[in-house]
Homo-oligomer: A and B are copies of this chain.
Amino acid sequence: MPPKVLQNNLDVDFVIKYKIDSKDKAASAQQFQGLIRCLAQLDLQTEVRAGDDSSLFVFVKAKSDESFGDVVYRSRIRDWLHGVRQIQPVKEAVGTLTEAPLTEAERLRIVHDMITAQRIDGGAGITPNYGEWKNVEAIFPLHNHDRNKKWLAEWSKKTFLTPDDLDELRNAVGEKIAYYYAFLQSYFQFLMFPAAFGASVKILLGNFSPVYMIGIGMWSVIFVEYWKRQEKELSVRWGVKNVGTLEAKRREFQPEKVHKDPITGEDMASFPSKTRLQRQLLQIPLAMISAIALGLVICTCYAIEVFISEVYSGPLKSVLVFSPTILLTVCVPTVSGFLTKYAEQLTNYENYETQGAHDKAMISKVFVINFITSYLAIFLTSFVYVPFASILVPYLDVFSLTVKPFAEDDKQIRAPTAAQFSINPQRLPNQMFYFAVTAQVISLATETIVPILTRKGGDKIESMKSSASKRSGGAHPSIAATDHAEEKDFLTRVREEASLPEYDVTSDLREMCIQFGYLTLFSVVWPLTPVSYFINNWFELRGDTFKLTIESRRPVPERADSIGPWLSSLEFLAWLGSITSAALVYMFSDGGLGPDGRPSKIKLGFLMLSVFFSEHTFLIFRNVVRHAISKLDSANMRKEKSERFMVRRKFLQDAGLGDAVKPLETPSDSVLKTINAARATGLDRRSLEEDARNDSLHDSTSSSRFWNRQRGWQESETVGLRMIEMMESVGERKMK
């Protein structure tokens, strides 16, 4: 009896969208045949329906309970073999699994594996958009709309999600996405503290407060260390610890050689790590090119903007001041796009064995690109514009070209001398406000509202086109006309879901990471930043749920035991924050600049000294927090340790070896027995010694002679007591 939740979806596990290539029907047909046959071999039931005008839907379901139960069992055994699962799985029929019921996510994951795993691993080997299956456009599960609606409705009423909510999410969409939600939830809860703290600091102390800097530094350390621990707890709770060892090889992986592992007998495809390390060194030039390219674009636009807003005084100023912003909005995504493409190529060249390693390498490159695009502008304002503007601005008249057409006379574009110029003290707070509030609102809207409008707009255009063609040309039956009456709604829904984009949890994690960076690096500029982020993140979680359930295809559940390399990014940003916050506080507190804005009071020595102390205090505090957290025990950790112990102990008991340790009886009982036994036989020391001497004639090693002088412990005891008495006498004699 399949779980109830699948009833709406007519028990469909996966939908395969198969595209027909209009130029080569015969090949498409042949590939289609192969597809059906491969699926049939695995006991997967298939149904074919029309998709749209040029594609078919192949609905896939795991057929019978018994053979599927076998597949589930084998998957769990594999987990157990690799140490991901501690307790040995039992072979049960799928419908009656009692000990570890099959969650929806696990079922979908296993069926997806059946479809996509390589043939030698026991799968069908269907690889979408690749190789012999390039007509297979997508393989996706169907949404459970009732549950999605329930989530959106319920979560919009709550402030915090409960661990049960997260478990429910994990059972539906898999651990990788559930980790993102768990992280978002932790981050949201933790944001309460800097929000409250920042609000009070803003009221009592104002901007650039050292108190706030210390508070935010401590908070960032505690949050990151807490989250690292929370990840481990969840990995035990969700049973995915060390799941990274289980990954299959990437299909794009090109090994240098394949040999048999002498111990396990399995084939080992290998690629020498030295070669990979050499290829990884190419990341350095890539990083430098990214920095230079993006840096040039951003710095140029920034300089133009400063020129227009603070030097130029002619007509159309209020309009022209947006031109660099427009330039930026056009150039930066283009350049980033190029760089991301090169990053992808380089990561492919680095030839990672598993998708996890590949993603990790890709993410670290993407982080560098995003770091520059997100933070360079505000870096420039804090550390270049404010200290050095009065020196640099007179050189800005090179940019007069950009406004020459509009200027009325030369005076409007002439740069002031260093003495005349005074910086705009509002630039930095304004910029921070933009990143804290405006940018977040825009981003939220872009994520949630714009796709809806795009789709509605696209639908409208489609319907207008079809009504236009209906009016103009003859009727031609669309494929949709072949639907059965009772399946019409269902198939319309499937077609709609098939047209949605895929859900990518990485971009959401990246967003939160960059936001965290603003908090640690620059929020000393405007202490209400965490308040804004706190409010934003409440909407963010619901917005992401909306995106996941309504605006994207249902994702294939994947397992993970961490949010991945973003964790290192968080640690790096917290560390960098200790440096930039100290520099900002030193430079700007008490209006650290002179009245004309010139940085006469900023001394490099004291600046570096405050950075030095701030950074090292941060590191010491971080070590203390790590130590304290590692000592805190938890129910989950104990449970895991005990489970590992029990695995082996059970094995021992099954093999009938009993307990490995038996404590001694109290000495008195057994010793008394021996004493009585000895007395009964009437042995005494002299006769034993004689026996010893007699034996010694036969046994000639000095060792055995040594060990036979006192037979049995009673003799040793007796001899010893006599020696003690003798010593007494000697002692007394000495005293005389």
Which of A's residues lie within 8 Å of B, judged by CB?
6-7, 10-12, 18, 20, 22, 25, 28-29, 32-34, 36-42, 45-48, 50, 53-54, 56, 58-59, 61, 74, 77-78, 80-83, 119-124, 261, 263-264, 273, 276-277, 476-479, 482, 484, 486-487, 490, 603-609, 611-612, 628, 631-633, 638-639, 642-646, 648-649, 651-652, 657, 660-665, 667, 670-671, 674, 701-703, 705-707, 709-710, 712-713, 716-717, 719-721, 723-728, 730-731, 733-734
User: Smallest Cβ distance from A696 to chain B, in angstroms?
Assistant: 10
Smallest CB gap from A568: residue in B? B623
The answer to whether B713 and A37 touch across the interface, beta carbons within 8 angstroms, is yes
CB-CB < 8 A to A82: which residues of B? 645
The answer to whether A47 and B661 touch across the interface, beta carbons within 8 angstroms, is no
27 A–B contacts from the bound complex (CB under 8 Å): A11-B706, A11-B707, A28-B724, A33-B717, A34-B667, A36-B717, A37-B667, A39-B713, A40-B674, A40-B712, A41-B670, A46-B716, A47-B716, A48-B710, A48-B717, A56-B720, A58-B720, A77-B652, A78-B661, A81-B648, A81-B649, A121-B661, A261-B638, A478-B730, A486-B702, A486-B705, A605-B608
CB-CB < 8 A to A59: which residues of B? 706
The answer to whether B263 and A646 touch across the interface, beta carbons within 8 angstroms, is yes
Copies held by the complex: 2
Alpha-carbon gap, A719 to B49, bound state (A): 8
The answer to whether A642 and B264 touch across the interface, beta carbons within 8 angstroms, is yes
Beyond A39-B713, A46-B713, A81-B652, list 10 extra A-B contacts (CB 8 Å): A7-B703, A11-B706, A22-B728, A32-B720, A48-B717, A54-B727, A81-B648, A83-B644, A478-B730, A605-B608
Q: Beyond A612-B612, A719-B48, is A660–B81 a contact (Cβ under 8 Å)?
A: yes
The answer to whether B645 and A81 touch across the interface, beta carbons within 8 angstroms, is yes
User: Smallest Cβ distance from A428 to chain B, in angstroms?
Assistant: 23
Smallest CB gap from A47: residue in B? B710
Partner of A74, one of B486, B660, B667, B723: B660
Alpha-carbon gap, A734 to B10, bound state (A): 34
The answer to whether B609 and A612 touch across the interface, beta carbons within 8 angstroms, is no
Partner of A639, one of B263, B608, B631, B638: B263
The answer to whether A707 and B45 touch across the interface, beta carbons within 8 angstroms, is yes
Closest 4 CB pairs of A and B: A604-B605, A608-B608, A40-B713, A263-B642
The answer to whether A77 and B47 touch across the interface, beta carbons within 8 angstroms, is no
Partner of A604, one of B609, B648, B703, B726: B609
User: Smallest Cβ distance from A278 to chain B, in angstroms?
Assistant: 11
The answer to whether A29 and B660 touch across the interface, beta carbons within 8 angstroms, is no
CB-CB < 8 A to A48: which residues of B? 710, 716-717, 719-720, 723
Alpha-carbon gap, A45 to B711, bound state (A): 9
The answer to whether B11 and A703 touch across the interface, beta carbons within 8 angstroms, is yes
CB-CB < 8 A to A123: which residues of B? 664
Partner of A724, one of B29, B45, B80, B720: B29
Alpha-carbon gap, A486 to B708, bound state (A): 14
Smallest CB gap from A719: residue in B? B48
Alpha-carbon gap, A671 to B727, bound state (A): 96
CB-CB < 8 A to A638: which residues of B? 261
CB-CB < 8 A to A61: which residues of B? 707
User: Smallest Cβ distance from A255 to chain B, in angstroms?
Assistant: 14
The answer to whether B39 and A726 touch across the interface, beta carbons within 8 angstroms, is no
The answer to whether A263 and B727 touch across the interface, beta carbons within 8 angstroms, is no
User: Smallest Cβ distance from A343 to chain B, in angstroms?
Assistant: 18
Alpha-carbon gap, A638 to B716, bound state (A): 52
Q: Beyond A33-B721, A37-B667, A663-B121, is A10–B611 a contact (Cβ under 8 Å)?
A: no
The answer to whether B10 and A706 touch across the interface, beta carbons within 8 angstroms, is yes
Q: Beyond A48-B710, A657-B77, is A264–B42 a contact (Cβ under 8 Å)?
A: no
CB-CB < 8 A to A646: which residues of B? 263-264
Alpha-carbon gap, A609 to B28, bound state (A): 66
CB-CB < 8 A to A660: which residues of B? 74, 77-78, 81
Alpha-carbon gap, A33 to B645, bound state (A): 39
Alpha-carbon gap, A726 to B631, bound state (A): 68
User: Smallest Cβ distance from A154 to chain B, in angstroms?
Assistant: 27
The answer to whether A273 and B631 touch across the interface, beta carbons within 8 angstroms, is yes
Smallest CB gap from A48: residue in B? B720
The answer to whether B122 and A36 touch across the interface, beta carbons within 8 angstroms, is no
The answer to whether A10 and B277 touch across the interface, beta carbons within 8 angstroms, is no
Alpha-carbon gap, A728 to B664, bound state (A): 86
The answer to whether A47 and B10 touch across the interface, beta carbons within 8 angstroms, is no
The answer to whether A37 and B717 touch across the interface, beta carbons within 8 angstroms, is yes
User: Smallest Cβ distance from A142 to chain B, in angstroms?
Assistant: 12
The answer to whether B36 and A713 touch across the interface, beta carbons within 8 angstroms, is yes
Alpha-carbon gap, A633 to B277, bound state (A): 13
The answer to whether A721 and B608 touch across the interface, beta carbons within 8 angstroms, is no
Q: Beyond A263-B642, A717-B36, is A479–B47 a contact (Cβ under 8 Å)?
A: no
Q: Beyond A604-B605, A631-B276, is A32–B724 a contact (Cβ under 8 Å)?
A: yes
The answer to whether B119 and A664 touch across the interface, beta carbons within 8 angstroms, is yes
CB-CB < 8 A to A486: which residues of B? 702, 705
Q: Beyond A10-B706, A727-B54, is A273–B657 a contact (Cβ under 8 Å)?
A: no
Smallest CB gap from A648: residue in B? B81
User: Smallest Cβ distance from A472 to chain B, in angstroms?
Assistant: 13
Partner of A119, one of B38, B484, B663, B721: B663
The answer to whether B120 and A728 touch across the interface, beta carbons within 8 angstroms, is no
Alpha-carbon gap, A28 to B731, bound state (A): 15
Smallest CB gap from A651: residue in B? B651
Partner of A642, one of B45, B120, B261, B717: B261
Alpha-carbon gap, A667 to B6, bound state (A): 30
Smallest CB gap from A284: residue in B? B624
Alpha-carbon gap, A607 to B670, bound state (A): 76
Q: Beyond A609-B604, A663-B121, is A476–B724 a contact (Cβ under 8 Å)?
A: no
Alpha-carbon gap, A133 to B478, bound state (A): 96
User: Smallest Cβ distance from A522 to chain B, in angstroms?
Assistant: 20
Alpha-carbon gap, A82 to B648, bound state (A): 8
Alpha-carbon gap, A487 to B628, bound state (A): 57
Question: Which among A6, A56, A606 has the highest number of chain B CB atoms within 10 Å?
Answer: A56
User: Smallest Cβ distance from A646 to chain B, in angstroms?
Assistant: 6
